[in-house]
Amino acid sequence: MITRNAALPDAHAHETVLEPRTGWRSLGLGELWGRRELLYFFVWRDLKVRYKQTAFGAAWAVMQPLLLMAVFSVSVGRLPNVAPAGVPYPLFVFVGLVPWTLFASSLIAASNSLVAAEGIITKVYFPRLLLPVAATGSYLIDFLISFAVLGLFLAYYGVSLSWAVLCLPLFVLMAVAAALGVGVWLAAINVRYRDVKYAVPFLVQLWLFSSPIVYSGTLVPNSLQPIYALNPMKGVADGFRWALMGGPSPDALVLVSAAATVVVLGSGLLYFRRVERSFADVI
């Protein structure tokens, strides 16, 4: 489907053509931009609804990484060599868990976003990509809250920041892009196969232990490091620790993580656009 906004002095400047289309199509980013206000309303709705009628409100945003930190500190944290020497384990794990929570929550929300919006998908047209994008966006706000708590942690442990902190937004972007990439793949498949609903929690759990969040990535043998780096969250976790705690600076492997992120996001968006025309028929 194409929408043209020709700048002609014609009375019908806005022409919409509806016809069957097969195969790949463009990402329709122009249309997404045109409906950015709707994106804003979706994010705003998700946040409002999430914390309405809750006693702790937005504190829940930070509860999850905090509790996980406590659990891992008294369990995994007691193992030898799990964190680099001289780094307090609670700080080490919390710096990993904050971006991890962003990634995991966004991924889960994005993969459910279409099925949860069945009522509007079958009643009104809007660019469907807005739904997974908005799901991710609302967790970015949660991330900012838990990031503020992370700041208090860093101050408590007396960590002094270097210029590396300026690179942090790049790693946040990488976590969001990876979550969105996997999220749009799963969201599109979820429309047809509800198996996704059961697979996602399991996938997220496996992913946590496949990423250097609760342990140091150096525990993985050197020969396996290039494969290990295919996991975008390895790049993100290493990047966060480097930017905030002065961990080892990223090497060429961070480019592997970045490339994997680009591939999963690009393929996810293209696949989503390819199958979106049948969403209303099969959801």
* Residues of this chain that bind other proteins (CB under 8 A): 1, 11-12, 14-21, 37-38, 40-41, 45, 48-49, 52-53, 119-126, 192-195, 277-278, 280-283
Closer to other proteins by CB, 163 or 198: give it. Answer: 198
Q: Shortest Cβ distance from residue 136 to other proteins (Å)?
A: 18
Q: Shortest Cβ distance from residue 143 to other proteins (Å)?
A: 23
Closer to other proteins by CB, 195 or 251: give it. Answer: 195
Closer to other proteins by CB, 37 or 223: give it. Answer: 37
Q: Shortest Cβ distance from residue 176 to other proteins (Å)?
A: 23
Among residues 42, 31, 29, 23, which one has the least CA distance to residue 4? 31
As beta bridge partners, residue 5 has 14
Tokens of 259: 């490339």
Closer to other proteins by CB, 135 or 175: give it. Answer: 135
Under 8 Å between Cβ of 252 and 281: no
Closer to other proteins by CB, 53 or 223: give it. Answer: 53
* Cα angle value 250/212/227 (rounded, 5°): 70
Under 8 Å between Cβ of 154 and 66: no
Read out DSSP for 237-277?
A: HHHHHHHHH--PPP-THHHHHHHHHHHHHHHHHHHHHHHGG
The 10 Å Cβ neighbour count of residue 271 is: 15
Closer to other proteins by CB, 156 or 193: give it. Answer: 193
Q: Shortest Cβ distance from residue 114 to other proteins (Å)?
A: 13
Q: Shortest Cβ distance from residue 113 to other proteins (Å)?
A: 14
Q: Shortest Cβ distance from residue 236 to other proteins (Å)?
A: 29
Give residues with Cβ within 8 angstroms of 225, minimum separation 6: 253
